[in-house]
Structure 1
Amino acid sequence: MDLLLIATGLSVIGIGALVAFARRVDPLSGRLHGRLRKR
């Protein structure tokens, strides 16, 4: 159970980092996320 929770947490953090990195590199993805956040 502990290993599962740790693996899930790391995967979530990894996905968040990838999303943030993509938003900084690609302006299109940033615009899409901006639209979703505004709504």
Structure 2
Amino acid sequence: MISFIAGMFVGSLVMLVIMSMMFVAKQADEQSANWQKK
């Protein structure tokens, strides 16, 4: 049971990291696109 809870905890942390990385990549993508337009 403890290993299951630990796995859920690690899984949610990994999901948070992946989501934040995707968010940062999207923001940088939009900024570079706006920069190229100028």
Which protein shows a greater Rg? 2
- Normalising by structure 1, what TM-score? 0.65
Q: Which has the higher contact order (CA 8 A, sep 6+)?
A: 1
Deviations 1:11-39 (A, max 9, x none): 00000000000000013xxxxxxxxxxxx
Superposed CA RMSD: 0.6
Matched residues in 1 for 2:15 and 2:25: separation?
15
> Which stretches of structure 1, 4 residues or longer, exceed 3 Å deviation after superposition?
none
Q: Percent identity?
A: 4
In the alignment, structure 1 segments of 5+ residues that lack a partner are 28-39
How many equivalent residue pairs? Answer: 27
State the TM-score, normalizing by the size of structure 2: 0.67
